[in-house]
Homo-oligomer: A and B are copies of this chain.
Amino acid sequence: MTVGKRGILFVLSGPSGAGKGTVCQALMARQPALSLSVSATTRLPREGEQHGVNYFFKSTEEFRTMIANNQLLEWAEVYGKFYGTPRSFVEDRLEQGIDVLLEIDIQGAMQVRCTYPDGVFLFLIPPSATELRSRILGRGSETDESFQRRFGAARHELQQMKEYNYVVVNDVVVSACARIEAIIQAEHCSVHRNLELLNEW
């Protein structure tokens, strides 16, 4: 990457059961130059969680102020607790030329697409319906009804693929990582991110 060039925001999302967390973790281990986005939340820290590492822990009032001041790329309220992506953390790193990875659910990703359309949106999917079925069942804790609900929801979520730039099949974690790494390298070669090259001639 040219010195002084902006980093790129890569948003990794996908339906439940695609393996976002596992792929994200493996990718971070392989790509130390990537920076993982840290979320803000109003829930209390769990044992061992550090402010600024696992989460930015905020009071509800602080969080509401961030919403009001447009300081979040996306946010949601889940069971009375707020979660969101601080814009400054992401922007600071991009400004320093560092690529940022954001792992997030589909609703959050669609919000980020509105607030930061220059991001690259990756949709991670399981290799097949059969594989998704066995991944959900593999958790072992599903009743027939909750399985049907989760499986139906995942199939419905898959239709959101059209809103993304790339689809990455998570057949084997290391292959999914390699595909994402290729996408990262390719995006750095995209012409619209390199127009400053024209001034160097």
Q: Which of A168-201 contact B (CB under 8 A)?
A: 168, 178-179, 181-183, 185-187, 189-191, 194-195, 197-198, 200-201
Q: A162 contacts the other chain (Cβ, under 8 Å)? A: yes
Query: Which secondary structure dominates chain A's binding surface?
Result: helix
User: What residue in chain B is nearest A154 (Cβ atoms)?
Assistant: B201
A123 touches B191 (CB 8 A): yes
A167 touches which of B123, B166, B168, B197 (Cβ 8 Å):
B197
Q: How many residues of A contact B (CB 8 A)?
A: 31
- Report chain B residues within 8 Å CB of A129: 200-201
Bound Cα distance from A76 to B195, whole angstroms: 29
Q: Min CB distance, A48 to chain B, in Å? A: 36
Q: Tell me the complex Cα distance, A166–B128, Å.
A: 31
Whether a CB of chain B sits under 8 angstroms from the CB of A158 is yes
User: Within the oligomer, what is the number of copies of this chain?
Assistant: 2
A129→B198 CA distance, assembly (Å):
11
- 0 or 1 for each of A131-166: is its CB under 8 Å from B? (1 = yes): 000000000000000000000000100110110111
- Are A191's CB and B179's CB within 8 A? no
A125 within 8 Å of B (CB atoms) = yes
Binary per-residue interface labels of chain A (120-131) against chain B in the complex, 1 for a CB within 8 Å, 0 otherwise? 000101001100
Complex A-B, nearest 6 residue pairs according to Cβ-Cβ distance, in ascending order: A186-B186, A182-B185, A182-B182, A183-B186, A166-B189, A182-B186
Q: Provide 28 A-B residue pairs closer than 8 Å at the C-beta atoms, listed in order of the A residue.
A: A123-B191, A129-B201, A158-B198, A158-B201, A159-B198, A161-B194, A161-B198, A162-B195, A162-B198, A164-B191, A165-B190, A165-B191, A166-B186, A166-B190, A167-B189, A167-B190, A167-B191, A167-B194, A167-B197, A178-B185, A179-B185, A181-B182, A182-B182, A182-B186, A182-B189, A183-B185, A183-B186, A183-B189
